[in-house]
C-alpha cells in the first residue's frame, strides 16, 4: 500500500515528480508557485483553459523552475459545494493522474481548505482515503500484471501549523483503507479460492493481528444451535458452511454491544431456482456484506474504537445438487419460526435470518446488517446508493449520516406493516419471497421477523461491485463498500 507522510515545506520547495494543487472554480493558484512559473498558472485560469470544474485536471511541466517536475491543477468545483467527499474524489483523481504521468512521488497541500466545518484531520483522512483506494490493484492471478503507468509509491502532505492533525487523519486513512483492501481482496478472489473455509481462515488471521477474538462454528455446532434456515442453503454445496463470530470488547464492561452482520454467500448459483448464465461469474461478490463486516471489525480494532462490537458472518455456497433445497421446502430457523422456501435464489435472507437470531444472545444495543440481497434494490436505486431499512429511526439516521460522510450513500425505503402481507405463507410462519413488486422491501420485511432489537438493514446489491461511473476511488471488481460506512457509524453512534 502506498506510503503517506507529512512534512513542513514551503510550496515552492517541495521536491516530487508531481505537485497537486487543488483549486475551486475561478480561484487563482498559490502566488508562491505561480510567480516561480512566470504567472503561467494564473493565466490558465484567466484564459479559462483551467476552470476549476470538479475533478478537472490540467498538467503543467515546471521546466525546472520548481523542485517538483510538474504541477497538476485539480478542480474542486464550486466553493459552496465543497465537502470531504469532493476532496476524497479529487485526491483520487490527482493520484491516478500522477500515476499516468509516470510519477513515483507526489506532493500536495490541503491546509488552506480546512475550516470550522472541515477540520484538517477530517480533510487529511478524506484525501488519504481517496489516494489509497484509487491505487488498489488485484492482479495476483496474472502472469504479467497490467501496468497503469509508473507505480506511485509515496505521497507527501506539505503542511504548516496543522501538521499533527494532518498526520492523525492520514493514520486513520491508512488503517481504514487497509481494511477496505482486505474486503476488496476477499471479494475479488474467484469462488474456487474464496470458499467459506477460506473466508473463515482469513477472518481468523486478520483478527489475530489486531486483537479481535475470532471463532468459527463448524457444521455440527451450527446444527446444535438449530440454524435450520442457514443449513437449508448450505445443503446443496460440497463446501462445509462456517459461522464466523468476531468480538472486540473495548467499551465499558457492562455496555451492550453493537452487532454487525454480513452476508457471506461465497458463490450463488441460485440453487434449484438457478440463475441465468449471463454474468453469473459476478456471484463471487455475493459475500461482499460479510467481507465488509470482517474489514470493519479489523479497522475498529486498529483504530482502538472505544466500543463493544461483535461481527457475525454466516458463510456458505448456494448450489444445485441432489441434497439441495427445493421450492416448496420448509426450514425451521434458530428463533423457531418456520420458513416456506418459494425461491431458492432468495437465499441470502435465509442465512441472515439465523445470524440475526444469533445476535439476540448479545442483548445488543443495535444491530446493522449488510447484504447484496436483492436485484430489486438495484432497480429502485441504481448503482449510486444502497437501500436502507430499519426498525429504529435514530439508528437508521446514524447509519445514513455515516454513509454520507464516507461517500457511501444510503437511501431509506419504507418498512410498513402492509408489506408483511406479501410474505405470509399458508403452510409456515413466513415465506422467503413475496410477489414481484417491492422486492427489496419484502426482503427487509422478512429479515425484520427475526429481530427484536434496534435494527438497520443495508442492501448493497447495487453498490458492492462492478466498474461504476462516479467516484474515481472506486476500482473495478469488489468496491469494499460498507467498511468505511461502518467505521464512521461505530465511531459516532
Active centre residues (catalytic): 275, 349
Q: Distance between the two ends of the chain, CA-based, in angstroms?
A: 30
The DSSP bridge partners found for residue 22 are 74
Rg (the chain; Cα; Å): 24
How many whole angstroms separate alpha carbon 264 and alpha carbon 405? 26
Read off the C-alpha cell for 132. Answer: 489509497
Cβ–Cβ under 8 Å, residues 73 and 41: yes
Cβ–Cβ under 8 Å, residues 133 and 93: no
How many whole angstroms separate alpha carbon 127 and alpha carbon 53? 18
Read off the C-alpha cell for 487. Answer: 467505521
Within 8 A by CB and 6+ apart from 222, the residues are: 230, 231, 241, 243
Within 8 A by CB and 6+ apart from 77, the residues are: 24, 25, 52, 53, 54, 55, 86
Read off the C-alpha cell for 444. Answer: 427487509
How many whole angstroms separate alpha carbon 317 and alpha carbon 239? 7
Closest CA to 469 of 81, 137, 89: 89
Query: What pairing do the DSSP bridges indicate for beta strands 57-61 and 18-23?
Result: unpaired
For residue 228, how many other CB atoms are within 10 A of its CB? Answer: 21
Query: What pairing do the DSSP bridges indicate for beta strands 308-318 and 242-249?
Result: antiparallel
For Cα atoms 474, 480, 485, give the angle at the middle one, nearest 5 degrees: 100
Within 8 A by CB and 6+ apart from 6, the residues are: 156, 157, 159, 163, 166, 167, 170
Supply φ then ψ for residue 3, to 5 degrees.
-95, 130
Amino acid at each position: 500500500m502506498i506510503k503517506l507522510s507529512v512534512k513542513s515545506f514551503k510550496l515552492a520547495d517541495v521536491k516530487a515528480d508531481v505537485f497537486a494543487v487543488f483549486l475551486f472554480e475561478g480561484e487563482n493558484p498559490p502566488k508562491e508557485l505561480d510567480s516561480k512559473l512566470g504567472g503561467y498558472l494564473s493565466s490558465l485560469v484567466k484564459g479559462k483553459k483551467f476552470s476549476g470544474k470538479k475533478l478537472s485536471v490540467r498538467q503543467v511541466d515546471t521546466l525546472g523552475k520548481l523542485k517538483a517536475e510538474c504541477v497538476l491543477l485539480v478542480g474542486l468545483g464550486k466553493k459552496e459545494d465543497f465537502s470531504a467527499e469532493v476532496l476524497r474524489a479529487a485526491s483520487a483523481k490527482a493520484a491516478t493522474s500522477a500515476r499516468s504521468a509516470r510519477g513515483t512521488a507526489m506532493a500536495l497541500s490541503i491546509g488552506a481548505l480546512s475550516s470550522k466545518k472541515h477540520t484538517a484531520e477530517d480533510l487529511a483522512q478524506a484525501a488519504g482515503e481517496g489516494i489509497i483506494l484509487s491505487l488498489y490493484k488485484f492482479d495476483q492471478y496474472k502472469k504479467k500484471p497490467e501496468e497503469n503507468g509508473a507505480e506511485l509509491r509515496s505521497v507527501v502532505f506539505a503542511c504548516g501549523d496543522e501538521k499533527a492533525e494532518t498526520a492523525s487523519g492520514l493514520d486513520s486513512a491508512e488503517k481504514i483503507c487497509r481494511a477496505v483492501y482486505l474486503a476488496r481482496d476477499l471479494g475479488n478472489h474467484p469462488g474456487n479460492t474464496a470458499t467459506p473455509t477460506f473466508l473463515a481462515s482469513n477472518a481468523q488471521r486478520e483478527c489475530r493481528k489486531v486483537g479481535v477474538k475470532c471463532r468459527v462454528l463448524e457444521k455440527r455446532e451450527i446444527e446444535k444451535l438449530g440454524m435450520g434456515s442457514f443449513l437449508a442453503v448450505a445443503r446443496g454445496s460440497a463446501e462445509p458452511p462456517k459461522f464466523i463470530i468476531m468480538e472486540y470488547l473495548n467499551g465499558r464492561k457492562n455496555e451492550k454491544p453493537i452487532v454487525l452482520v454480513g452476508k457471506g454467500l461465497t458463490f450463488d448459483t441460485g440453487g434449484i431456482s438457478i440463475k441465468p448464465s449471463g454474468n453469473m461469474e459476478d456471484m463471487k461478490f455475493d459475500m461482499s456484506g460479510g467481507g465488509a463486516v470482517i474489514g470493519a471489525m479489523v479497522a475498529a480494532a486498529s483504530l482502538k474504537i472505544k466500543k463493544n462490537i461483535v461481527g457475525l458472518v454466516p458463510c456458505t455456497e448456494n448450489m444445485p445438487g441432489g441434497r439441495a433445497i427445493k421450492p416448496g421446502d420448509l426450514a425451521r430457523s434458530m428463533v423457531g419460526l418456520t420458513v416456506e422456501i418459494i425461491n431458492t435464489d432468495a437465499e441470502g435472507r435465509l442465512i441472515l435470518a439465523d445470524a440475526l437470531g444469533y445476535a439476540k444472545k448479545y442483548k445488543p444495543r443495535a444491530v446493522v446488517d449488510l447484504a447484496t440481497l436483492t436485484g430489486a434494490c438495484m432497480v429502485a436505486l441504481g448503482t449510486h446508493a444502497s437501500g436502507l431499512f430499519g426498525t429504529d429511526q435514530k439508528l437508521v439516521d446514524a447509519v445514513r449520516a455515516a454513509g454520507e460522510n464516507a461517500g457511501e450513500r444510503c437511501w431509506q425505503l419504507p418498512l410498513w406493516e402492509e408489506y408483511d402481507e406479501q410474505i405470509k405463507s399458508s403452510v409456515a410462519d413466513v415465506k422467503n419471497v413475496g410477489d414481484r413488486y417491492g422486492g427489496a422491501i419484502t426482503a427487509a420485511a422478512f429479515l425484520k421477523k427475526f429481530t427484536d432489537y434496534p435494527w438497520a438493514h443495508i442492501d448493497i446489491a447495487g453498490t458492492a461491485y462492478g466498474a461504476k461511473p462516479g467516484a474515481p476511488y472506486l476500482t473495478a471488481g469488489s468496491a469494499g463498500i460498507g467498511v468505511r460506512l461502518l467505521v464512521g457509524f461505530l465511531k459516532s453512534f
